[in-house]
Structure 1
Amino acid sequence: METLEWLDLSRNQLSGEIPNSLADLNFLSVLNLSYNNLRGKIPSGTQLQSFNSSMYAGNIQLCGKPLAECPGDIFNGSATDQEERNSFEEDDGFITLGFYICMAFGFIIGFWTVITTLVLKHSWRHSYFNWWNNVGNWMYVTTTVYLRRLKRKFLE
C-alpha cells in the first residue's frame, strides 16, 4: 500500500480524523476525501498539504493547510505551523523553568564557594595564583620555542 498512487474516498460518509498512516503514502498523486464527515487537523509535514483544497471540500470540521488554519494554530497573533512550534518546544519535559532556576543556583553557589575559599584561605589563594602563573609561563615558553623552530625552518 506504500506505493499507492491514486485514492478516491469521496462521498463515503467517513468520520473521524485523517489517520497519520495516510500521510505516510509518499507516492500518492491523487487523493479525494471530499464530502465526508472528517474533522480535526490535516496531518502536517506530508504531501497532504500539497493537494488542492477541493479534495477536502464538504468536511466542515477539517482544518489545516491547504484549508483554513485550526483555532489552536494561532500563536502570538499570527498563524504558525505545527512543525515550527514543535521545533521550539521541548518534547521530553526535562528542561523546565525549575531546571533553569536550579542551574542558576548551582552556578552561583559553586562560583561563590570557590571565590570565598580563595579569599579566606591564604595557602589555597597562593597555590591557585601560582598555578596560573606556571600555566602562563609554560604557554609563553612553548609558543616561543615553536616560533623559533618555525622561523629557523623557513629561513634555512
Structure 2
Amino acid sequence: MEKDPIRTNWKDFYIDHLMVEWQGKVNEFTSTLGLVKTIDLSGNYLTGQIPYEITNLHDLLVLDLSNNALSGEIPRDIGQMTKVLTLNLSRNMFSGEIPSTMSQLDSLNDLDVSYNNLSGRVPLSTQLQSFAAERFTGNIGLCGVPTTKRCLEDEDLGVPNVSESVDDGKSMDELWRWFYIGGATGFATAFWIGCSALLLNRRLRHAFFHFYDSLKDWVYVKVAVFIAKLQRELARA
C-alpha cells in the first residue's frame, strides 16, 4: 500500500476513498473500504491527526501507525473497533488522555502506545491492565496500572504504587531468607554448645546418659505393655 508522497497530512485524505498500488497496478477502493482488515502505515512521515472516521472500520483487525509524527488526541470512538487485535500507536506525538472507550476493546491482544505525550489515568479494563508497563512507557503524564506511576487521587486514598508493591514483596522474601539463615545458625550453635558441654563436664555427661537410659527404659516398658494388651484383646476377639 502506498500513499501519495505529496500528501503527508492525514487531513488530505477521506476515509472512504483509498488508492492502493499493488504489483504496478493502481486500484481505487470506495464502498469496499469497510472490508479492510489491516492498515500498516508505520515508519512513514505522516503528520496531523488521525481522522475520526477511521473508527467506522468495525471489521479492522490490525492498525499500525507507529514511528510517524502524528499528533492530536486518539479518536474518542476508537472503542467502536471492537474486532481490532493489534493496535500500535507508539513513537508519535499523540497527546491528551487514552480514551475511556478503549476499555471496550475486548479482543485486543497487542497494544503499544509508548513514547507519546499521553497523560491521565489508563482506563480500567481487563485487557488494558494485562499489558506490560513497557507498552505505556515514554508518556510522562500517564499514570495508573499497569504503569509504575500513581495518580494523584490514588496518593490521597493511600493506594500503593506498583513499584512499591514489588519492593514490598522483595523485602518480605529477604526477611524470610534471613529468618531461615538465622534459624539454621542458631540450631547449629546450640547443638555444638550442647556437645561441648557433655564432652567437657563429666558430671553433666553422666547425668545426661542416666536420663537417656531412664527414658529409653520407660519407653520400652510402655511399648511392651501396649503390645501385651493389644495381643490379649486380639485373643479375646
- Coarse TM-score class (shorter-chain normalised): 0.3 to 0.5
**Larger relative contact order (Cα-Cα within 8 Å, sequence gap ≥ 6):** 1
Is the helix fraction higher in 1 or 2? Answer: 1
Q: Normalising by structure 2, report the TM-score.
A: 0.32
Is the strand fraction higher in 1 or 2? Answer: 2
Q: Normalising by structure 1, report the TM-score.
A: 0.48
Select the structure of larger CA radius of gyration.
Answer: 2
